[in-house]
Structure 1
Amino acid sequence: MNALPATMKAAVQQQAGAPLHLVDLPLPVPGPGRVLVRVAAAGLNPLDTKIRAGRAAHARHPLPAVLGIDLAGTVVALGPDVAGWSIGDEVYGMTGGVGGVQGSLAEYAAVDARLLARKPAGFSMREAAALPLGFITAYEGLVDRARVHAGQRVLVHGGAGGVGHLAVQLALAHGAQVFATGAAESREAIEGYGATAIDYRVTPVADYVQAHTGGEGFDIIYDTVGGATLDASFEAVRPYHGHVVSALGWGTHALAPLSFRAATYSGVFTLRPLLTGEGRAHHGGILREATRLADEGKLRIRLDPREFPLAGVEQAYRLIEEGAANGKVVVTVAS
């Protein structure tokens, strides 16, 4: 192993709305319970664009800062009190970019070892970097909150999206019958993941509830869209035993339709372990499950084919901001 450098390149956001600039920063030193990762790839999320624009107070990431929530790379140094990891391990995780913690848009990151899992053997570094936030969000909703299991009918709103396409595959892996909403142009992608596609633009809620559940309603509905889509979920859930989960339940909603069905609701806030320190080991455990599913051929990632180096991070962000991405956008930090 070559000697580590004293400095690293990082993409730094100086103020909200300003371009990111490559600068030299001191190499991070891994403290107790942390490992130093040489970052190979950094996954970008819509949340990153909101932080960058100054519209994500809930992420508590003061500027100037290094952005980037997801990473994949190689362990190059161990801090004190780290067990279970060795130099040379290929890892991935949702490790920073919020709460004042350095993000993944840098050549190295000192990260809490509890947040990491071993990279799926069949995934490239770019594919692994595209996985953490989306899969953790899907898992916390479907498994931790809704307890998805075989025989259930699950509806995923936004089934071709970053969280939605992973939620579809996760529900199928648990033996559920899966349906997913999307526009007509998403039909092929949704069906490719194994779900029954529903074009929400042309099919009213009552019609698809009748067509796919005999009017009974879905056992689990995972909303990844928010707004009126969450309200529609309250109309489509199964009485008594139905459960609605939302990763975007931040608006004002009338709960009467849900209450009249005697159904239940859960919210998902995936950033909480990063912001509070609580539950970080669970995030690592969730990603170990993602690795298992990927290694068994039950999990695929929707990755935008365009590649961007660290110096091209501005173009990568614009692709997301303009709605032109065709899957998860990943920045290649090191080969």
Structure 2
Amino acid sequence: MKAISYPVYGDPDVLEYGDRPEPKLGPDSVLVKVRAASVNPVDWKVLAGYLDPALDAVFPVIPGWDVAGVVEKAGPSVSEFKPGDEVIGYVREDFVSRGTFAEYVAAPIRTLARKPRNTSFEEAAGLPLAGLTAYQSLHRSLKVREGETVLVHAAAGGVGSLAVQIARAHGVKVIGTASARNHDYLRSLGATPVEYGEGLAERVREVAPDGVDAVLDLVGGEALQLSPGLLAEGGRLASIADGGVLELGGDYVFVRPDAADLLALTELVERGEVKVEVAAVYPLEKAADAFRDSIGGHTRGKIAISVA
């Protein structure tokens, strides 16, 4: 099969397009013919070796954890899916080697859900990792409730835009930080935008003078440090970007595969309450350019990889 892989840690220049062995199918897995994948910041951080030794690499590594595709074959213990089913998945193992930037991936059923019927494969591929990160941060860590107000830092990005929509779908008010050029976009998602940068705390307090019930930090650094001062009494704090959140009494979130959570996201999309914005689509052989695009930052929505 054709795939993207890398033989050593490095930058996008070490990514290679070529032939790799088709993955072997385990009893609890399905073989997915990949139609699309998506790029997440964690992909190029893994590529650079930033997550070693938390995630061991078995070289050569095929990158990618997001997938949307069609079941080609099911393992002997699988009854949940059959050949021809359209699925999405956050296909992460406890090591990195057998990723989704390929024509086929062997995906454990614990990582999969049915694909939303009302999306393209490219849109669907942008949902799993970013959507699960947002969903688990809001519901498991922050435990936001209807009528509360949550502040989302970097609300126009891949995770942030989904967090805004998931929160709004559950009756939560959202204040989102973003550059001025993305404010109309955030309003279209139902959030109240505020510009990040110097004076951010004052701008948030103008919108929520009594404080917010929860803060979801997707940036780290200064944005995280000022967040406790924006919380109302009993407010909660979570970050996916900065482990220093623990010293501030908050939760550090590292997303995990969860079939039930992924199905909940599929249902939100099918009800029209959540939509994945695709910023750009690259063919598989141009994955290195997709990585460079992601590294450049300031992407609104998701970067997809199309696998013909």
TM over 0.5: yes
Aligned match of 1:19 in 14, 20, 23? 14
Take 1:204 and 1:238, find their aligned partners in 2: how far apart are those partners? 17
- Counterpart Cα distance in 1 of 2:59 and 2:45: 13
**Are the structure 2 counterparts of residues 25 and 149 from structure 1 closer, same or farther at C-alpha, using a change threshold of 3 Å?**
same
Q: Does 1:162 align with 2:155?
A: no
Cα shift at 1:206: 3.8
In structure 1, C-alpha distance between the alignment counterparts of 2:134 and 2:144, rounded to whole Å: 11
2:259 alignment partner, SS class: helix
* Partner secondary structure for residue 57 of structure 2: coil
Establish whether residue 133 from structure 1 lines up as the match of residue 126 from structure 2.
no
Shift of 1:9: 1.1
109, 112, 117: which one aligns with 2:105: 109
List gaps (5 residues or longer) in structure 2. none
CA separation in 2, counterparts of 1:307 and 1:28? 25
- Hey, what's the Cα distance between the residues in 2 that align with 1:97 and 1:113? 12
1:285 is matched with: 260
Partner of 1:269: 254
Q: Would you say 1:300 and 2:286 are equivalent positions?
A: no
Q: Residue 69 of structure 1 contacts residue 98 of structure 1 at CA under 8 Å; is this kept in 2?
A: no
Q: Which residue of 1 aligns with 2:221?
A: 227
Residue range with higher mean Cα deviation, 242-251 or 19-28 = 19-28
Which runs of structure 2 are paired with 1:86-105 in the superposition (5 Å)?
A: 86-96=82-92, 99-105=95-101
% identity of equivalent residues: 36
Report the AA paired with residue 52 of structure 1: L
Equivalent of 1:328 in 299, 302, 305 = 302
CA distance in 2, matches of 1:308, 1:204: 35
Deviation track 1:150-190 (CA, whole Å, cap 9, x = no partner) reads: 11011111110111111111110110111111111221221
Counterpart CA distance in 2 for 1:65 and 1:303 is 25
Q: Structure 1 106/204 Cα, relative in aligned 2: closer, same or farther at 3 Å?
A: closer
CA deviation profile, 1:5-35 (whole Å, cap 9, x unmatched): xxx1111111122421122222222111100
| Alpha-carbon distance between aligned partners in 2 of 1:131 and 1:308, rounded to the nearest angstrom | 17
Where 1:147 maps in the other structure, the secondary structure is coil
Matching residue within 3, 25, 33 for 1:30: 25
| 2:189 matched residue in structure 1 | 193
1:122 maps to a residue whose letter is: N
C-alpha displacement at 1:313, in angstroms? Answer: 1.1
CA distance in 2, matches of 1:213, 1:318: 37
Q: What residue number does 2:212 align with? A: 218
C-alpha separation in 1, matches of 2:194 and 2:45: 29
Give the residue type in structure 2 aligned to 1:159: A
Larger Rg: 1
144 and 324 in structure 1: CA distance in 2 versus 1, 3 angstrom threshold: closer
Partner of 2:38: 43
**Does the 8 Å contact 1:66/1:103 carry over to 2?**
yes
1:97–1:104: 8 Å Cα contact kept in structure 2? no
C-alpha distance in structure 1 between counterparts of 2:121 and 2:143, whole Å: 30
Task: Give the superposed CA RMSD.
Answer: 1.8
The one-letter amino acid of 2:293's match is L
* Per-residue Cα deviation, 1:42-90 (whole angstroms, up to 9, x for no partner): 1111111111222222343343210011010000101121121111000
Distance 1:194 1:314, change over 3 A: same
The alignment covers a number of residue pairs equal to 305
Q: 1:86 to 1:94 in 2, by over 3 A?
A: same
The change in CA–CA distance for 1:217 and 1:325 in structure 2 (over 3 A counts) is: closer
Q: State the Cα deviation string for residues 252-292 of structure 1 (Å, max 9, x = none).
A: 8863xxxxxxxx5222011xx4xxxxxx4xx1111101111
Q: Is this contact kept in 2: 1:152–1:219, CA < 8 A?
A: yes
Change (3 A) 1:89 1:302: same
- The superposition leaves residues 188-232 of structure 1 with CA deviations (integer Å, 9 ceiling, x where unpaired) of 2211111000112254414422x2223x21101111111111111
* TM-score, normalising length: structure 1: 0.86
Query: Could you tell me how far apart the structure 2 residues matched to 1:320 and 1:100 are?
Result: 20
Q: Whose strand proportion is higher, 1 or 2?
A: 2
Tell me what 2:76 maps to. 80
| CA shift for structure 1 position 124 | 0.4
CA contact (8 A) 2:245 2:251 kept: no
Asked if 1 retains the 8 angstrom alpha-carbon contact of 2:154 and 2:177, the reply is: yes
Q: 1: distance between equivalents of 2:192 and 2:152?
A: 10
Q: Secondary structure at the match of 2:107?
A: strand
Other-structure match for 1:260: none
Contact (CA 8 Å) 1:96, 1:104: kept in 2 or not?
A: no
Sort the Cα spacing of 1:9 and 1:242 in 2 relative to 1 into closer, same or farther, 3 A.
Answer: same
- Between the aligned partners of 2:260 and 2:185, the Cα distance in structure 1 is 28
